[in-house]
Structure 1
């Protein structure tokens, strides 16, 4: 389960948020990206200049080491190595700085759309399991061929199902937060005078969870009808493919003198195709009815 985003958030921003779950977790924990580094701080010796100077430095160092100025050669070597190390360190700093604009962009969007996205840590294990059920059901519908082919109301599915996912996620996140507070309260111990108040609160939590689960079960029923329609759709396609090949089989059977033996089996293809067509229509009709139930 990744980041769940309000479908009203612009698609490009929603994509950025979904792709940066770890960074969003750090932002939620209070992390702030560092300010941009001034260009002056990034200036280091040019790589090309260092590369060009290397043969000269090596030649000069060899001459000095072979002369009575060997100590100066070692000083030159140490100075050059130091410059190279400084350059490597500055390149690492620049490489790290290259990530800062992206981090800053995510940070700004996260602040602007605060409350319009939810992270995995916003859900306790029970809520996460319920949300995963909803997401599986929604994925079954949106990835189906019957939806892509327009046998379902694909336009309404594309808008209503993400809205259902967000509403379910939003309620589950609230439920998770209240359950955590409730468990912390119980862990500290409850005075007898407070016990009478606790029971109605627990019933409220249980009732809210049951209502959300009922929504998810409605989605699962819808997905079940879509899955049945999907199976019929694929089976019908295979039967139609076989029916298209029938003339070649009939020709072969007639030429071989075995046509009388196989006619009943071939005729059954047409019957199976008709049955699958009715099954597909019935399944699509059931899916439409389940969809209308989701809207109520």
Structure 2
């Protein structure tokens, strides 16, 4: 397992566009967190003197070149055209030729990262134990939100879309805090603890262990919910396949009748309707169990 297995976790209160930007730029966010800063943007003042000269001088030199051509002075006309080209390049290469609103992605992400500091977590915010729990959390959330039964509205898709990201964020926030405290505690212990302090350390260690157990319980509740959804998903797909087979059944019956193979017809074919009914019941039961798990998760 590595940090690449865990996506950036963003507070659901952050605008969706910003959240997607953060999730797509984990490496840049890591660099920003490590102290990286983008180069200063160009001064938004008006264009440079070279750009201004080029803007005014180029049309004048072009007009002068036309005059020289009419007068038959090809050398002077060529010289004028050369000056026009140089002025054009001066304008294009001027540092102010770029509109002020053409900001680089790095500058925008840097400013967004500062503005929403504390409202997103990166894989490096979690120690190995927390990282494993975070991966389990995201796997459970993604499996539910990506399921067909959720997309078809067989689950409470609206509440899923709201509550599951909130659960993911809360778990990430707690795991990041737990990781930070655990790292500080381990550093303290690594320096050696006097016998007089050892007894005082024990309640702190129990607090860390109890907090981790509480987060694990949240993750396991998510996984139970995702498990029920997976059962419903399997029943959903199986039902679809049975319905497809039922639609083809008349063609099979026609073939059997025309070939005179009635006596050799497989009895199981006629049980497709029963199978479909059983799968329908399984699907309803699985969805009901998922709803029960969801209420437990919500409670």
TM-score normalized with structure 1 length: 0.79
Question: Secondary structure at the residue paired with 2:36?
Answer: coil
Structure 1 Cα separation of the partners of residues 10 and 222 of structure 2: 19
Matched, 1:265 2:268: yes
Question: Secondary structure at the residue paired with 1:151?
Answer: coil
Q: What's the offset of the Cα at 1:219?
A: 0.5
Which residue pairs with 2:183 in the alignment?
Answer: 180
Which residue pairs with 1:30 in the alignment?
Answer: 35
Residues 148-180 of structure 1, C-alpha deviations (whole Å, 9 max, x = no match): 111000010000000000000000000000010
Structure 2 Cα separation of the partners of residues 248 and 2 of structure 1: 50
Structure 1 Cα separation of the partners of residues 273 and 28 of structure 2: 58
How many correspondences in the alignment? 254
Which residue pairs with 1:251 in the alignment?
Answer: 254
Structure 2 Cα separation of the partners of residues 282 and 125 of structure 1: 37
Matched, 1:9 2:8: no
Structure 1 Cα separation of the partners of residues 50 and 121 of structure 2: 37
Gaps of 5+ in 2: 1-5, 55-89
Contact 1:34 1:100 in 2 (8 A): no
Which residue pairs with 1:19 in the alignment?
Answer: 24
Structure 2 Cα separation of the partners of residues 258 and 206 of structure 1: 70
Question: Secondary structure at the residue paired with 1:9?
Answer: coil
Residues 51-93 of structure 1, C-alpha deviations (whole Å, 9 max, x = no match): xxxxxxxxxxxxxxxxxxxxxxxxxxxxxxxxxxxx9xx89xx
Matched, 1:289 2:287: no
Structure 2 Cα separation of the partners of residues 23 and 265 of structure 1: 59
- Please state which structure has a larger fraction of its residues in helix: 1
Q: Flag the 1:108–1:210 CA change in 2: closer, same or farther, 3 A.
A: same
161-170 or 16-25, which deviates more: 16-25
Question: Secondary structure at the residue paired with 2:225?
Answer: helix
Structure 1 Cα separation of the partners of residues 149 and 184 of structure 2: 44
Instruction: Give the aligned CA root-mean-square deviation in angstroms.
Output: 2.6
Contact 1:9 1:116 in 2 (8 A): yes
Which residue pairs with 2:235 in the alignment?
Answer: 232
Q: 1:147 aligns with which of 139, 146, 150?
A: 150
Which residue pairs with 2:133 in the alignment?
Answer: 130
Question: Secondary structure at the residue paired with 1:30?
Answer: coil
Structure 1 Cα separation of the partners of residues 245 and 165 of structure 2: 38
Which residue pairs with 2:77 in the alignment?
Answer: none
34-43 or 118-127, which deviates more: 34-43
